Structure formats: C-alpha cells, structure tokens
Amino acid sequence: MIQLRKIGEKNFRDILNLCVRDDQKSFVAPNDISLIEAFIAISHHGKAFPFGIYDGDIPVGFCMIGFGADEDWVNAPAVAKDNYNLWRLMIDERYQGKGYGKAAMKRILEFIADKPCGPAAYCWLSYEPENEAAKALYASFGFQETGEWDGDEKIAVLKLEKTCTDIRYVEKADHDFWFTLDRHLSEDAFLYKVEQRMGYILRAESEPIALLRYSLFWDSIPFCNLLYVKETMQRQGYGRSLMEHWESDMKARGYDLVMTSTQTDEEAQHFYRALGYQDCGSLILPFPGYEQPAELIMAKQI
C-alpha cells in the first residue's frame, strides 16, 4: 500500500538517500534542494508539504505539494495564485518501472482533494519538454499543457472543481444519448447490454457525458469494446474514472483479468498502458470490407 508520510527526524535521511538515474538528474532537483526550498517557502509565509513516498516501510520516492505563491517567489506563474502545485515528484532509480509513480499520483490528488489549504480551481505542475515519461504520466491523470512556461519548463494544469459525477449501469432511458456516441451497436444489442448490465453511463451534473460497454472474450474474460467520452469533456479524467469503475465491478464479479483493444495508429494505446494494460499481440483482418490498421490487443490483471 503506497502512503505519503511526513518527513521528520526519523526518516529525513532515508529521503535524502533517494536518487533518480543519472540521465534524469536534469529533470528533477535533488531531495535536499527540495527540502531547502520547502523551508524557504514556509519561512516566507508560503505553503509546502514535503512527503516521503512509502511502500509499507520502504521509502521509494519523494513528492512536494505547494499552495499559492510565497512572498519571496519572483515571477511566479499566474496559475500559482490560490491554486495547488505538484512542486516535485521523484521515484528512486531502484523502484522505477513498478507503478509507484502512478500510485503516488493517486495519493497526491487525494491529499489535494481534502483541501488542506482550502478550495482551489486548479492543481498545476511543470516539467522539462524532454521529459516524455513525466508528460505521459501527468496527462493520464488529466493534466493539460496551457502553452505557458515556468522558466524552462512547460506548465500543465488539472481542473479540480469538477462537476459532481456518478457512474451507473446503462438503462433503456439512455437510448438516445447512447446512440449519439455509439454508432456500432444494434438496437437488439443495446437492449442486451441493458438487461445484462454490460454497459455504463458516466454523468456530470446529471448530464450523461461518457459511456463504456464490454463483452466476454472466449465467454470468460471481460473485454472493453468501447470507451467514449464526449469530445468537449475529454482529457479531464472521466475516461480513467469509467475504466477504474468497470475494473472494480469486474473484480467484484470474480474476474481477475480484463482486456481491451485499440488500433495501432490511435493514441488510446498510451492511455491504456498508463492504466496498467500490457500489449498482448495484434490482429489483422485481410478481408474486403474489414481493412484497417492492426488492432492492438491489451490485457490487465486486476
């Protein structure tokens, strides 16, 4: 279980000993510098929350969350005012590639959701343009680049004050909305999804904005056939919420493996990989009327 722990006398040396790979050192400041920056911010009436990232009792990384702009911050970005900032995030070189970054991000956003400094419209962060791994991780949580810069780093923001959302099984009354997004399902197949509870609707402020449907591969493995979010509501975390809800539902029904697919020329593959799905092969149909780029098959243990 990943946890964020306050840094104090008993563990600060463990955090100082954490380090990224040599080729990543230009992307993130050493942890001793981060702790000094936290001290300076707090001493100038700012807000800083440095945490060790722990897997059980093992320190695997470090993060620091800020709020607003302290009186000593020269040329602070406009978005810094009255908003949360993921100031620093690093995973030790020994523990990279194990999902700790994604797990830590969930805990960080949960911390911010508790509003330790009061409500805010955004959480923002910045990263070096060359840091593709960081960009992909943050984008998978809904952070979007604004075109602004903090020094030499690109700024990306996540809207925090989202509308109230809920996810439920699709109902017959959802027919008209469903077919505005899903043009591949027949009327009979839609009714089957309703009866078997094999489709979901995500609503924001009671307005449906996204859907997901699945079937059973080999009659035994849940297979997500379609995930779609209204274009104007994309890249705000709704797709992730639907996928995680579906996975939880499948696990509750006794399944331990789920699958999906996407064309190899589509960006969705990066979204699914960020959720933990692994490439399992591809499918090509060399028949008239079925030509398309290879279909990438992906799976995830739950």
Please write the tens of the pLDDT for every residue from 46-104: 999 999 999 999 999 999 999 999 888 988 998 998 899 999 999 999 999 999 999 99
Is the pLDDT at 291 greater than 60, yes or no? yes
Q: Which of 159, 174, 189 is the last residue of a domain?
A: 159
Mean pLDDT of 271-280: 92
**Shared domain check, 197 and 140:** no
Q: Count how many domains the chain has.
A: 2
**Shared domain check, 143 and 57:** yes
**Shared domain check, 18 and 121:** yes
**For position 201, which CATH number holds?**
3.40.630.30
pLDDT digits (tens, 9 = 90+) for 131-145: 999 999 999 999 999
Is the pLDDT at 235 greater than 80, yes or no? no
Rounded Cα–Cα distance for residues 153 and 127 (Å): 5
Distance between alpha carbon 258 and the CA centroid of its chain, in Å? Answer: 19
| pTM, two decimal places | 0.56
The percentage of residues in the chain with a pLDDT greater than 70, rounded to a whole number, is 98
Rounded Cα–Cα distance for residues 156 and 70 (Å): 20
**Shared domain check, 131 and 108:** yes
**Shared domain check, 135 and 42:** yes
Mean pLDDT of 207-222: 96
**Shared domain check, 104 and 128:** yes
In this prediction, residue 120 has a pLDDT band, given cuts at 50, 70 and 90, of confident
**Would you state the structure tokens that stand for residue 140, as one six-digit string?**
């998978």
**Shared domain check, 253 and 171:** yes
β-pair type (122-127, 84-91):
parallel
Lowest model confidence (mean pLDDT) among 19-23, 36-40, 274-278: 274-278
Rounded Cα–Cα distance for residues 35 and 27 (Å): 17
Report for 16-30, 155-169, 273-287: range of highest mean pLDDT: 16-30
Q: Which of 139, 159, 179 is the last residue of a domain?
A: 159
**Shared domain check, 145 and 32:** yes
- Active-site residues, by number, are 138
**Shared domain check, 150 and 56:** yes
Is the pLDDT at 162 greater than 60, yes or no? no
Q: What is the mean pLDDT of the chain?
A: 93
What pLDDT is recorded for position 164? 65
What pLDDT is recorded for position 65? 98
**Shared domain check, 17 and 152:** yes
In this prediction, residue 29 has a pLDDT band, given cuts at 50, 70 and 90, of very high
**Shared domain check, 86 and 13:** yes
Q: Which of 132, 159, 186 is the last residue of a domain?
A: 159
Is the pLDDT at 161 greater than 80, yes or no? no
**Shared domain check, 179 and 137:** no
The boundaries of the domain holding residue 12 are: 2-159
In this prediction, residue 163 has a pLDDT band, given cuts at 50, 70 and 90, of low
